[in-house]
Structure 1
Amino acid sequence: MDLYAFPPIAAVLDGAYALLMGLAGLLEPLIGVTSAAAAIVLVTLIVRAALIPTAVSMSKGEQARARLAPKLQAIQQKHRDNPERLQREMMKLYADEGTSPLAGCLPMLVQAPVVGVIYALFILPTVNGHPNDLLTETFAGVPLGSSLVGEVVHGTLTVADLLVFGAVILVIAAIAEVTRRVFRPVPAAAAQPTAAQPAAVPPGLLGALQFLPYLTAVIAAFVPLAAGLYLMVTVAWTLVQRMLLRRRFPLPVPPQATA
């Protein structure tokens, strides 16, 4: 069974298709052939703007978890031999403080289907039974439905296409590097955990986490260029937003830093 032909999914894709085509039509007199790409950027900005309240909630949750870190550590030490009691006490602490260990997951959960819809719209020849005209749209001369890996596999990659794909992937990678430096995980070898350093990371896991931000750049090489543009805009938004919100909701300062 074709998943994209399932009526509810087909209806969602058709609605998204109409939205992108409508925005592209409105933008075409202003920017010409890149209007579809601009429509994707605009949709990305609209989605991220709509998620600002959840991003604020995420920052508040991060701040609250940092503040609760010493209490959580005490609970873990006290009930380490009783996993069920440990779980109950931890959840009770989160409930008493009005937060949750899952606070802030909503932005990621919401964006996953958005990326999935954009991906589908640029790989399907038909959408809900009608031709998919989005496949005729380009960005800097590169079809929005093509991918770097796809062109390599089919032997259609040109220098011009490589420059476009490379630019998108390099921008994502550069943002990932800035994110890695600004929000570097705390190694376990650091001093005893404090409220500002609640999530000390074991050395073995630290190395893996250092490269996690680059995963988006790898994904961008496999998905259609349209989805790559979405990813590029959203990671840039995420970085700026996290930096601003970290200033608004700073993590507690370690006691030794204030001494």
Structure 2
Amino acid sequence: MSLFARLVEQLAELLQPLFHTSSAAAAIVLFTMLVRLLVHPLSRAAARGQRARAALQPRIAELRRKHAKNPERLQQAVMELHAKEKVSPLSGCLPSLLQLPAFFLLYHLFASSTIGGERNELLTHELFAAPLGGRWHDALADGGVFGPAGVVYLGLFAVVLAVATFNFRRTRRTMADSGALSSSGGAGGEGSVPGLAAVGKVMPFMSFATLITLAVVPLAAALYVVTSTTWSAVERAVLYPAGSGALEQPATA
């Protein structure tokens, strides 16, 4: 953890001539982008895996119809199909799970007031008039919604709202194209899974949960969340173009 802190602090020193008192905030944004760039190959691997699994859905649907009365034979046939096509059922999930440790370390770094028993100096810096260690309720108490610090949060909320709306529309369109929103099941026959219709209705709105995170975490952590969420939205728009047939998850940090 202290290694991450030192790297961000050194980066802030390099950026200080350009960003002055907001150099630490700029360092958090840049450092988050660098980490996301390093794990981008994992995201590409996840996208390839999801596209491969999506391409098999029509054939899996046919197997479901063929073995509707024999669940054990259906399971065996699906496994044989995956093995024949050399597609892992987890190929779209595992790379994403491998990203979690790096993201957890970054978030914890920017949300912790102490590191190794010492004060987290990153949180003593500011973004314009808003302390990186402060929270939204602190900004509201010190000047209100349109106060110096409150305006900084309004800007971040606007960015997150725009990204969440973009994700919402993409997720709705992708799920509709894949048939996941149909109660009768789409090409993949997913409508037969109990509770999937309810999940399909809720999933597009998950992108807006970032607004709640932004409101309760320190500003340093909020900068990480905004940067990572925006990166995810752009990345998934590139990796999952419209009509690719791969069912996306909401883009989050």
Common fold, TM-score beyond 0.5? Answer: yes
3-state DSSP of counterpart to 1:251: coil
In structure 2, the partner of 1:142 is 130
Would the aligned equivalents of 2:110 and 2:224 in 1 still touch at CA under 8 Å? no
Are residues 1:90 and 2:78 paired? Answer: yes
Would the aligned equivalents of 1:54 and 1:104 in 2 still touch at CA under 8 Å? no
User: Residue 213 of structure 2 aligns to which amino acid in structure 1?
Assistant: I
Shift of 1:72: 1.7
In structure 1, the partner of 2:119 is 131
Output the CA distance in 2 between the equivalents of 1:84 and 1:30.
64
- Which stretch of the first structure deviates more once superposed, 155-164 or 35-44? 155-164
Structure-2 change in CA distance of 1:106 and 1:235 (3 Å): farther
Structure-2 change in CA distance of 1:231 and 1:20 (3 Å): same
What's the CA shift string for 1:187-224, capped at 9, x where partnerless?
54389734xx7766954333211211111222221222
Are residues 1:66 and 2:54 paired? Answer: yes
Sequence identity (%):
33
Would the aligned equivalents of 1:148 and 1:165 in 2 still touch at CA under 8 Å? yes
3-state DSSP of counterpart to 1:183: helix
Are residues 1:76 and 2:69 paired? Answer: no
Structure-2 change in CA distance of 1:83 and 1:149 (3 Å): farther
In structure 2, the partner of 1:189 is 182
Output the CA distance in 2 between the equivalents of 1:99 and 1:121.
37
- Which stretch of the first structure deviates more once superposed, 107-116 or 26-35? 107-116
Output the CA distance in 1 between the equivalents of 2:213 and 2:67.
41
Output the CA distance in 2 between the equivalents of 1:251 and 1:47.
28
In structure 2, the partner of 1:219 is 213
Q: 5+ unaligned residues in a row in structure 1: which ranges?
A: 1-12, 253-259
Would the aligned equivalents of 1:66 and 1:198 in 2 still touch at CA under 8 Å? no
Aligned pairs for 1:20-31 within 5 A: 20-31=8-19
Aligned pairs for 1:1-259 within 5 A: 13-80=1-68, 83-106=71-94, 108-149=96-137, 155-156=141-142, 158=144, 159-184=147-172, 185-186=175-176, 187-189=180-182, 193-194=186-187, 202-247=196-241, 250-251=244-245
User: Residue 206 of structure 2 aligns to which amino acid in structure 1?
Assistant: L
- Which stretch of the first structure deviates more once superposed, 232-241 or 122-131? 122-131
**Alignment TM-score, normalising by the size of structure 1:** 0.77
Structure-2 change in CA distance of 1:240 and 1:132 (3 Å): closer
Aligned residue pair count: 236
- Which stretch of the first structure deviates more once superposed, 29-38 or 51-60? 51-60
